[in-house]
Amino acid sequence: MLEEWKIAKMQKAQYRVVGNHSAVKVCLWTKECLRGGRSCYKNSFYGISTARCMEMTPALTCNQRCMHCWRDTSIFSKEWNAPIDEPDEIITGCIEARKKLLTGFKGNEKTDKKLFEKAMEPAQVAISLTGEPCMYPKLPQLIKRFFESGFESVYLVTAGTVPEMLKKLKPLPTNFYISLTATNPEMYEKLCLPVIEGAWEKVMESLELMRKMKTTTVLRLTLIKGLNMEKPEEFAPLVEKAKPKFIECKAYMFLGCSRKRLKSENMPEMEDIRAFAKALAKAAGYKVKAEREDSRVVLLEKP
């Protein structure tokens, strides 16, 4: 799926390409946690172990070119164009690549040695690293094999552009996320720049499917100052459509390649996120559950 120059670009950014179309990377929170620092907000909100969380993707392609994406979207193809690797190959390859990425932490004097040993055996997986994971044709089998391989939790994050795949998920992931940025088709076209026809309608179908899923469901709102935060109440009908257990009101961060498309002033301050979350909670009938200022995120929960 990737030409050599694209692989080299990803390697330089500390990704490791696995097989024909997958990748793994050690996130900043895992690194900080191993050095005795803070854990990811998902530890605060949902209790997962930051050190033992493996962030990966089975699809180095995407059907959107979002303005706020901090990845280099130039590496993405518009459609699936690779041989299909088997789930077991992907899991084994990602675990081994992650171990190699973590090896250097063993000699760091700040590293918690016991935590490091645990980190070498991941217990959680976040299928969310880059691209659209629902484009991987064997995603249901991959999730099943993660559980069968001993993983305690499997998180799946999608933009909702492949609803036909969501209908096939069995077993369901531990946490199922839909990442949402827009409240209407015009805003969606402007911010998410889909490369497929009927993408907004597909997202709406995915929200309808979310409400039927018997698992922990999360609607993650990526909030961009000056572009989608002015009317929090306009997200309420979409919340009603999906009926998620949780809503994450998360600030866009001025990082990576998104700096070529947006400005620093598009990154909300924590007080902006709090105000937005409070207004949305009132409009949608949710309550504020928790927050993490270092990640500029507020968690809403359905009563």
CA 181 to the chain's CA centroid:
13
Q: Give the orientation angle of helix 139-148 with respect to helix 87-102, to 10 degrees.
A: 60
Residue 107's pLDDT is what? 85
Residue 71's pLDDT is what? 84
DSSP string, the chain: ---HHHHHHHHHTT-EEETTTEEEE--HHHHHHHTT-PPPHHHHHH---STTEEEEES-S--SB--TT--S-GGG--SS--S----HHHHHHHHHHHHHHHHGGGGG-TTS-HHHHHHHTS--EEEE-SSS-GGGSTTHHHHHHHHHHTT-SEEEEEE-S--HHHHTT-SSPPSEEEEEE--SSHHHHHHHH-BSSTTHHHHHHHHHHHHTT-SSEEEEEEEE-TTTT-S-GGGGHHHHHHH--SEEEEEE----GGGGGTS-GGGS--HHHHHHHHHHHHHHHT-EEEEEEGGGTEEEEE--
Query: Range of 142's domain?
Result: 4-301
Across the 303 residues of the chain, what is the mean pLDDT of every consecutive 10-residue run? Answer: 81 92 95 93 95 96 93 83 94 98 90 93 96 97 98 98 98 98 98 96 98 98 98 98 98 93 97 98 98 97 96
Residue 3's pLDDT is what? 80
* β-bridge pairing 246-251 and 216-223: parallel
Q: In whole angstroms, give the CA distance from residue 11 to residue 94.
A: 14
* Burial category of 172 from C-beta neighbours within 10 Å (exposed 0-12, middle 13-18, buried 19 and up): middle
Dig out the tokens for 106 from the structure. 């063993």
Neighbouring CB atoms inside 10 A of 301's CB total: 15
Q: In whole angstroms, give the CA distance from residue 261 to residue 54.
A: 29
Q: What angle (nearest 5°) sits at the alpha carbon of residue 94, between those of residues 23 and 15?
A: 35
pTM above 0.75, yes or no: yes
* Residue pair 176/213 in contact by the 8 Å Cβ criterion: yes
The count of structural domains within the chain is: 1
Q: In whole angstroms, give the CA distance from residue 210 to residue 167.
A: 10
Dig out the tokens for 152 from the structure. 């305690």
Residue type, 249: C
The CATH number of residue 156's host domain is 3.20.20.70
